[in-house]
Amino acid sequence: MATEIRRTKIKDLLAMQAGSEVLVKGWVRTKRGNREIAFIALNDGSTIKNVQIVVDKNSETESILPRITTGACIGVRGDLVESLGSGQAVEIHAKDIEIFGECDPMRYPLQKKDTSFEYLRTVAHMRPRTNTFGAVLRLRSQMAYAIHEYFHKRGFVYLHTPLITASDCEGAGQMFQVTTLDLNNVPKNKKGEPDYSKDFFGKQTSLTVSGQLEGELGATALGEIYTFGPTFRAENSNTPRHLAEFWMIEPEMAFYDIKDNMDLAEDFIKSLVRYALDNCRDDIQFLNDRYDNTLIERLEGVVNTEFVRLTYTEGIEILKEAIANGHKFEYPVDWGTDLQSEHERFLVEEHFGKPVILTDYPKDIKAFYMKQNEDGKTVRAMDVLFPKIGEIIGGSERESDLGKLEARVNELQMSRKSLEWYIDTRRFGSCPHSGFGLGFERLLLFITGMQNIRDVIPFPRTPKNAEY
Ligand code: 4AD
Ligand code: MG
């Protein structure tokens, strides 16, 4: 292409006045036309919107136009002019077209005939080229930025916690082991067990299920920290809300009690949703119009409503009352058992009609580090429950009393040796503190209105699925 002008991104170009010569580069979404003229809709990923390219048919373009098919990558130099057609203010009258990469229409995996999310998951290497995944992935990136901005504005330190660890924070035994031992010839100790002293780290290690324990080390030195990184859980849950590899944001704050923790969690989520409404309007509007025309209403609803706060015990009473009034749940409701997502959604969607923060869960269904209440039965946990999602945040005030923490670790028969460093925070200058974890993909489910968590992460990792 005999031109020296610089490429303009379509997002910027659509905000420009007509009159100048421009260069755009992108992928063809559609091509249509008649004998005299062709219209190409071009997208470069900078926005959900396409720019329309108008090509006059002449001897030169006649030869090139058949090669410009859906999916092909081209560069176009031309004049930015006011558009006569509806739907766009400006369009480009092409003077010069370069084909970077052709796209065989017969073999291109993105065909009009099957655009179901199930099918697109099987071609996840190509689905970022669709409007929907473009919108979702731009939103994902924007929300990551919004999260960092939120904490930095408030003086939180971004702490990088390790992904390889020797401790199971949540104590649920759902860790992916990390090893360089030869699985065909595992060295054994005297008891016949694998001899991890011969392993890479000299001990048994796994991918982390949470950065919290190391986060607490940061908070009890720096005051307020947050982590934001990948998290791994080998739970065999084939649900629309579980991934084996997901991203979590974990703030941890010295001198926060559970009330401060709830206040932060509520403000945090509301700020993120507001950020999306204010800064990602085109993509959200697209998702709203295409799939779920109550999406924007739902997002605005959350920003403008006060979350309900009640205890687990009160929640159980409401659920039992619902059963007495004839409501049917698949799983039983009993004090002491964990709530199923049908229970969480009943409270949020049917009973209150807004987000709920549930606190003070039975200690036996929560992790060892949570602050124990005086009743001896419950802990100062807090879960934030959201419409259509269920649990979006899990957190708690932490047990800061050395004796109580040690007693709980012993009671649960956890490995003391691998936790001494954690217990040191309570030994040396212990302080009241709290924190929580927000599942990034669960947040994105809410903000995009997508139904399946596999559709809000570029390359999902789920049981029996680690493609790409
Ligand atoms: O409730 P969880 O297990 O809490 C923790 O990991 C604490 N250490 C957090 C803390 O207090 N710092 O997980 C927190 C959140 C859940 O509420 C959920 O949003 C998300 O992480 N999450 C998952 N998201 C996708 N796939 C999974 N398998 C998830 N498991 C948890
Ligand atoms: Mg939880």
Tens digit of each residue's pLDDT (9 = 90 or more) over 66-109 = 999 999 999 999 999 999 877 789 999 999 999 999 999 999 99
Q: How far apart are CA 125 and CA 170, in angstroms?
A: 33
Could you tell me the distance, in angstroms and rounded to a whole number, from the CA of residue 136 to the centre of ligand 2? Answer: 25
Determine the Cα–Cα distance for residues 231 and 217; give it in Å rounded to an integer: 18
Ligand 1 atom with the smallest distance to the CA of 384 is 17
Query: Which atom of ligand 1 has the smallest separation from the CA of 169?
Result: 8
Expressed in angstroms and rounded, the spacing between residue 11 Cα and the centre of ligand 2 is 39
Weakest mean pLDDT among 106-110, 159-163, 216-220, 235-239: 235-239
Residue type, 353: G
Ligand 1 nearest-atom number relative to CA 242? 26
Whether 383 shows a pLDDT value over 90: the answer reads: yes
pLDDT band at residue 1 under the 50/70/90 scheme: low
**Is the CB of residue 243 less than 8 Å from the CB of residue 232?**
no
CA 169 to chain centre: 21
| Alpha carbon distance 441, 235 (integer Å) | 16
- Ligand 2 geometric centre to CA of 391 (Å): 7
Q: Looking at ligand 1, which residue's alpha carbon is closest to its atom 19?
A: 439
Closest CA to 258 of 399, 70, 365: 399
Atom of ligand 1 nearest to the CA of 393: 17
Ligand 1 pocket test, pick from 143, 233, 253, 442 with the greatest ligand atom count within 8 Å of Cβ, gives 442
- Mean model confidence pLDDT for the chain: 95
CA of 395 to the centre of ligand 1 (A): 9
Q: What is the pLDDT of residues 367-377, one digit of tens each?
A: 999 999 999 99
Phi, psi of 384, deg, nearest 5? -95, 125
265 C-alpha to ligand 2 centroid (Å): 14
- DSSP letter string, 131-191: HHHHHHHHHHHHHHHHHHHHHHHTT-EE----SEES--TT-S--PPEE--S-TTS--B-TT
Q: 175 C-alpha to center of ligand 2: Å? A: 16
Q: What distance in angstroms lies between residue 449's CA and the mean position of ligand 2's atoms?
A: 21
- Angle of helix 440-448 relative to helix 131-153, nearest 10 degrees, comes to 120
What pLDDT is stored for residue 343 in this prediction? 96
- Supply the residue whose CA is at minimum distance from atom 24 of ligand 1: 439
Burial class (CB in 10 A: 0-12, 13-18, 19+), 173: exposed
Ligand nearest the Cα atom of residue 396: 1
Residue 30, exposed/middle/buried by CB under 10 A (0-12, 13-18, 19+)? Answer: middle
CATH 3.30.930.10: does it fit domain 127-174+209-455? yes
Helix, strand or coil, per DSSP, at residue 309: strand
Dist. CA 393 → ligand 2 center (Å): 7
Q: 80 CA to middle of ligand 1, Å?
A: 49
Output the pLDDT for position 65.
Answer: 95
Question: Residues lining ligand 1, CB < 6 A?
Answer: 169-170, 210, 212, 233, 235, 242-243, 246, 248, 250, 391-395, 435-437, 439, 441-442
Helix 258-279 and helix 281-291, axial crossing angle in degrees, nearest 10: 90
- Is 10-101's fold the same as 127-174+209-455's? no
Tokens of 174: 């759902």
Inter-axis angle of helices 420-427 and 402-411, nearest 10: 160
For the domain made up of 10-101, give the CATH fold. Answer: OB fold (Dihydrolipoamide Acetyltransferase, E2P) (2.40.50)
Q: What is the residue with the minimal CA distance to atom 6 of ligand 1?
A: 210
Residue nearest to atom 22 of ligand 1 (CA): 439
Can you give the pTM of this predicted structure?
0.96
Nearest CA to ligand 1 atom 21: 439
pLDDT at residue 393, rounded to an integer: 98
Which residue has its alpha carbon closest to ligand 1 atom 20?
A: 439
- Looking at residue 417, what is its pLDDT? 85
Distances (CA, A) of 443 to 336, 366, 394: 28, 22, 13
**Is the confidence at residue 402, as pLDDT, over 80?**
yes
Query: Ligand 1 centre and the CA of 246: distance in Å?
Result: 9
Q: Which ligand is nearest to the CA of 240?
A: 1
Q: Are 393 and 383 in contact (CB under 8 A)?
A: yes
Write down the domain spans for the chain: 10-101, 127-174+209-455
Please identify which residue in the block is written with the tokens 């998951």. Answer: 121
Residue 423: pLDDT band (50, 70, 90) is very high
Q: What does DSSP assign to residue 369?
A: T
pLDDT above 70 coverage of the chain, percent = 99
- How confident is the model at residue 128, as a pLDDT? 97
Q: Which ligand is nearest to the CA of 161?
A: 1
Which ligand lies nearest the alpha carbon of 440?
1
- Distance in Å, CA 392 to ligand 1 centroid: 8
Please tell me the number of the ligand nearest to residue 445's CA.
1
Which 8-state DSSP code applies to residue 251? E
Pocket test for ligand 1, best of 174, 248, 269 (most atoms within 8 A of CB): 248
Q: For the chain, give the longest Cα–Cα distance.
A: 86
At residue 303, the pLDDT reads 97
